[in-house]
Structure 1
């Protein structure tokens, strides 16, 4: 436990600079006296910790002090930072870097820990490639050469030239200012601006990408979580192809309906206990697909074209599986 605390103490000083004994004690959840003993132990072990007295004093490391982990390179360190989701590392083109980084981490472990850690890792599995029904979970693939250009432009703050194929459109070249990368359920997205307007690009639809030398026009700091929520809101409330549907649904399947819709505009309960919802979908195909999944657990009340489309589809299925004449 003390060894872990000493490492944490060094990392705190590395990341945050000069800190008082009281601040270190709060961060490490120990007493101030324990912190002073730990500082003395680090100094004895050769770690260059020094004290600065006075009103703004505290403890700090000598400038230039480095602690390296078996030579992690930039991409390996980045892979570890996004390793909370293995799929995230894969979506950002960092899968091989993550594997390499983890090998170096294992090599850096004390010999007595290696066997224990390896055995424990064999008993933990995150995001397998198939589910319990042996269905392969589809992960979008982005060529490494394209992903490397995108990632480099995002991290370096350079403009990015992309050849992008929007839905039902031929690919077009455009120059964007990259903001950040987001992965959602194995789907990767590039958040950017183009001529000052917010844009979101599906990484799997990139045909080519080239990092430019020109600096990107973007703020120095970004809250990606907030930016993603704002893009999500824009997507749900905008778009010329969106359709609004009035539907009755079995309460037991409400979650399935709402989970596929873009937004719920209104909701009430009918006399028979079923729910009546006004919901929006991305387009007509999305609406038809969502209602078809619910079978007899839902009924589209409006618009009429959706009722007709669902009836025609059901009739075609009934004809195909009808009794032989």
Structure 2
């Protein structure tokens, strides 16, 4: 296992140039002390790793260092085959490319790995099209030409002109500086800047796209995971959101948390949970509480209690005969 970790450490440095011990530890899922020991082992083996000291320092390989690290172990081959079953690549218009890459990877494997890895992959199913209730996943309509143009601009670092149709608004042309692409629950998003401000665009709402020759005004490096978390936080705490105080049965808690934007407060009171949560808008709040039926009761605001009462009365009247 240590040999695999040392190979991964070298590959990380080759890919990113310079990384801190803390970042390497996080990527390799080990302690920083283990990373430092591995760096010493690589140096002793003749791998030219050097340290940059200071606040923005870290470890890097000497420029021009090359090594052949093309072998795959069984678990790595299995991981690639499993990745090929995920539909995230479809969101970015890379489905056919991924399928082709999987064929090349499998063909390049030694015969023993090829058989065992392929057999193991048959035992795993990731994100099937339907769940246990036969509900199909909602797939977005993403024209390949549009997604390809967006993807090229992201990778080339060029500005992008998009014809974007925001929810409830007429489509209009916008010029943005693309940062990266994110897929969440099979929905694709473009992270970008517009006039220096962070913007997030749903790929399915981009009707047309044009890569421009101008360089994008963006940082050379980006932490997409952190950028997404920051935008997610801003989304949950801004706009026309609705705060709701409710009491509910603990058994339905995860169902509520799965649809609410944020949980602001929570305490157990006489066997029931008293919670304060936020929803995207009034319609979202009413829908979420209605799904919980008698397992939850909205305490505030009063308009939500009235809306749920009127909806229940209308349903009761329909079935009264």
* Interval containing the TM-score (normalised by the shorter chain): 0.7 to 0.9
Q: Deviations over 1:64-112 (max 9, x none)?
A: 888889xxxxxxxxxx799487222122111111000001111212344
Aligned to 1:133, what secondary structure does the other structure show? Answer: coil
TM-score (structure 2 length as normaliser): 0.75
- Distance in 2 between the 1:108 and 1:151 partners? 28
Which runs of structure 2 are paired with 1:90-101 in the superposition (5 Å)? 90-101=90-101
| 1:119 to 1:287, Cα distance in 2 relative to 1, 3 A | same
Instruction: Show the counterpart of 1:316.
Output: 314
Verify: 1:119 aligned to 2:116, yes or no. Answer: no
Check conservation: 1:25, 1:31, Cα contact below 8 A: no
Which runs of structure 2 are paired with 1:43-122 in the superposition (5 Å)? 83=83, 86-122=86-122
Which runs of structure 2 are paired with 1:250-289 in the superposition (5 Å)? 250-270=249-269, 272-289=270-287
Instruction: Show the counterpart of 2:77.
Output: none
Aligned to 2:304, what secondary structure does the other structure show? Answer: helix
Check conservation: 1:247, 1:302, Cα contact below 8 A: yes
Over the aligned positions, Cα root-mean-square deviation in angstroms equals 3.6
- Distance in 1 between the 2:138 and 2:265 partners? 33
2:38 to 11, 23, 26: 26
Instruction: Show the counterpart of 1:73.
Output: none
Rg larger for: 1
- Distance in 2 between the 1:115 and 1:97 partners? 23
Instruction: Show the counterpart of 1:187.
Output: 187
| 1:258 to 1:66, Cα distance in 2 relative to 1, 3 A | closer
Aligned to 1:132, what secondary structure does the other structure show? Answer: coil
Instruction: Show the counterpart of 1:141.
Output: 141
Aligned to 1:315, what secondary structure does the other structure show? Answer: helix
Check conservation: 2:246, 2:275, Cα contact below 8 A: yes
- Distance in 2 between the 1:258 and 1:243 partners? 15
Q: Deviations over 1:89-141 (max 9, x none)?
A: 12211111100000111121234443333333322222211122222122323
Aligned to 2:317, what secondary structure does the other structure show? Answer: helix
Check conservation: 1:129, 1:136, Cα contact below 8 A: yes
| 1:289 to 1:114, Cα distance in 2 relative to 1, 3 A | same
Aligned to 2:320, what secondary structure does the other structure show? Answer: coil
| 1:61 to 1:244, Cα distance in 2 relative to 1, 3 A | closer
| 1:61 to 1:105, Cα distance in 2 relative to 1, 3 A | farther
Instruction: Show the counterpart of 1:203.
Output: 203
Structure 2 unmatched ranges of 5 or more = 18-34, 49-60, 72-79
Instruction: Show the counterpart of 1:290.
Output: 288
- Distance in 2 between the 1:261 and 1:26 partners? 44
Q: Deviations over 1:124-178 (max 9, x none)?
A: 2222111222221223231111110111111111111111121122212111111
- Distance in 1 between the 2:244 and 2:180 partners? 34
Structure 1 unmatched ranges of 5 or more = 18-22, 37-50, 53-58, 70-79
- Distance in 2 between the 1:235 and 1:60 partners? 42
- For residue 278 of structure 1, report the CA deviation from its aligned partner: 2.1
- Distance in 1 between the 2:36 and 2:11 partners? 8
Aligned to 1:86, what secondary structure does the other structure show? Answer: coil
- For residue 24 of structure 1, report the CA deviation from its aligned partner: 12
- Distance in 2 between the 1:28 and 1:296 partners? 62
In the comparison of the two structures, how many residue pairs are matched?
A: 281
- For residue 303 of structure 1, report the CA deviation from its aligned partner: 1.9
